Structure formats: structure tokens, C-alpha cells
Amino acid sequence: MWALLRESLIFLSITLLISFSCLSCGSKKATYPDGSYPVPATTKPDGTPLPTQRPYTVNGRTYNPLPTAEGYRETGIASWYGPNFHGRSTSNGEKYDMEAMTAAHKTLPMNTWVQVANIKTGQSAVVRVNDRGPFVDKRIIDLSKAAARQVGVLAPGTAMVEVTALGYRRQGTGVNNVPAQYEQPASYNEGMFTVQVGAFTNQNNAERLAGQIRANWGETFVVRYDRGDQIFYRVRVGRFTRLEQAEALQSKLRDAGLNEAITVGW
């Protein structure tokens, strides 16, 4: 019975992973047979930005996730985290496995693979970003215990390293003589964006707001959204292909008193 239940849960996790093509559901079971990982989407299925790509604040400091990992290279201090965090949820929804080759980074897109090289010893490892951190000055990456062991960070606790972004792994594993191949993702700055200024359960209220602001703000439309337990009518303004265009309109709308304005995908 327990074996059947376990197989069912694994099948469900893989099904959800493929359906959403964004977040992995486990530290090891989420890989494809060739060892690759899905390229994250820029938005959730309902069109709202992924939490991992939104600006966030820790200890009074705000961090803005990078729109792409392309060209990223940085030198700084690496540290590692282990037993106290083992089994806890990471920022992209996985369970932290200190024996998996993963890392935490403050701004790189989730599922980016990076090479971490110890400047003093030459030891290196390739790891996948699945968490945020470290939130300590001058530290640029937090390695899993397994990665820290390979890079030579485990015993001293920290080390000066160079971090180079490789991109998203498309095929191969990089181990057992199976070469890995990587590709850079499309920029999070490019896509299909709009600005949502309100959401109502009453369609008439949504249409009323759209009518009030259309004359001043141009293309304004109402989108019906079924959450499963309730229907919402979302009022949205404009259509853009670049994130900064939508964010510029968002800023203007908020300055005009539409405080709920937020950039979303469409």
C-alpha cells in the first residue's frame, strides 16, 4: 500500500512539474531523464509574476532578481548551509537537500546552473540555483553541503570563489562521462505584459472602472478569471512586449491614484 501511495505521489509531482514548466517539486525527483530542468515561465498560470522574479526585501535591503543570467560572472565569498536547513522549503518550492548540488543566490533566476570555482585551490563544481541568499555582506553564494565539499568550502566555512552562470541545462548531466549542454533563457524583460488596476467579483463594477479610466489611459479591458472557488473580473490597461514599458505605465497609474496597479503577464 505504501509503495503504491509513494508511486502515485511521484507521478503527481512529475505531472505538475511538466504542466506548469516552472517550479520543481522535489530536490531529485523533479529532473528529466537526461538530467535537465524546466525553463521557468515568467508568470504563474493566472498571469501574475512569479514570486521568485519579484523584488523582495530582507533585513531592510531590497533585492531585484536579474531578468537573465546571460553574461553573469562575479567574484566574492562563498559559504554553505546544511543540517539546520535540510528538509526545509527553498525559495522555488523544493525541499532543501544538503547532499544535492544546489545553491542559494540573491538575484539569479531560479534553475540557473552556475560554475563555482575556488580561486585559491582551483576546486570547482556546477550547481543549480534553487534558493535565495546568503544575506550576509560580501557573500555572493551559499552552497549546499555536497557542493561546499567539492569546492573546498566545507572545512573552512567560507572561501573566495568565482561564480559563472552557465544557463539552463538542456541535456546531459555533466557526470559519468555524459557532457552537459546549457543554453541561456529568454530575458524576463521580454514577453507579453499588461497592468492590472483592480479585480472584482461583480462584473458591473469591473466594467464601470474600465469605463472611467479608458478615456485617459487608452486600451482598457476586463478579463474574466475563474479561480475555482470564485469568479473574478480583472481590469487591465495596455499591452506591451517589454517589461519596462508596463512598469512605466504602472508607475503613472499609481501616481494617478490607482494604487492597486501591478504589472502582470497576459
Domains of the chain in sequence order = 2-183 (2.40.40.10), 190-265 (3.30.70.1070)
pTM of the model: 0.58
Alpha-carbon distances, residue 180 vs 29, 89, 101, 102, 220 (angstroms): 19, 27, 14, 16, 46
For residue 70, the model assigns a pLDDT of 79
Q: What is the distance between the alpha carbons of residues 14 and 32, in angstroms, rounded to a whole number?
A: 9
Give residue 47's pLDDT band: very low, low, confident or very high (50, 70, 90). low
Give residue 175's pLDDT band: very low, low, confident or very high (50, 70, 90). low
Cβ-based neighbours of 215, under 8 Å, separated by 6 or more: none
For residue 48, the model assigns a pLDDT of 53
* Backbone conformation region of residue 47, classed left if phi is above 0, alpha if psi is from -120 to 50, else beta: left
Range with lowest mean pLDDT among 36-50, 133-147, 215-229, 235-249: 36-50
Per-residue pLDDT, averaged over 60-83, amounts to 87
For residue 102, the model assigns a pLDDT of 94
232: helix, coil or strand?
A: strand
Q: What is the distance between the alpha carbons of residues 223 and 199, in angstroms, rounded to a whole number?
A: 9
CA dihedral 86→183→177→35, nearest 10 degrees, is 40
The set of cell numbers assigned to 216 is 485617459
pLDDT exceeds 60 at position 128: yes
* Helix then strand then coil, % of the chain, to nearest 5: 20, 35, 45
The set of cell numbers assigned to 158 is 567560507
In the chain, pLDDT over 70 holds for what percent of residues?
72
For residue 171, the model assigns a pLDDT of 63
For residue 173, the model assigns a pLDDT of 60
Structure-model confidence comparison of residues 68 and 1, the more confident one:
68
As beta bridge partners, residue 56 has 63
Give residue 8's pLDDT band: very low, low, confident or very high (50, 70, 90). very low
For residue 13, the model assigns a pLDDT of 38
Q: What is the distance between the alpha carbons of residues 33 and 171, in angstroms, rounded to a whole number?
A: 9
pLDDT exceeds 50 at position 215: yes
Per-residue pLDDT, averaged over 236-247, amounts to 85
Per-residue pLDDT, averaged over 99-124, amounts to 93
Structure-model confidence comparison of residues 1 and 123, the more confident one:
123
Peptide bond between residue 156 and the one before it cis (omega within 30 degrees of 0): no
Q: What is the distance between the alpha carbons of residues 162 and 63, in angstroms, rounded to a whole number?
A: 21
Range with lowest mean pLDDT among 39-53, 171-185, 227-241, 242-256: 39-53
Cβ-based neighbours of 190, under 8 Å, separated by 6 or more: 241, 242, 243
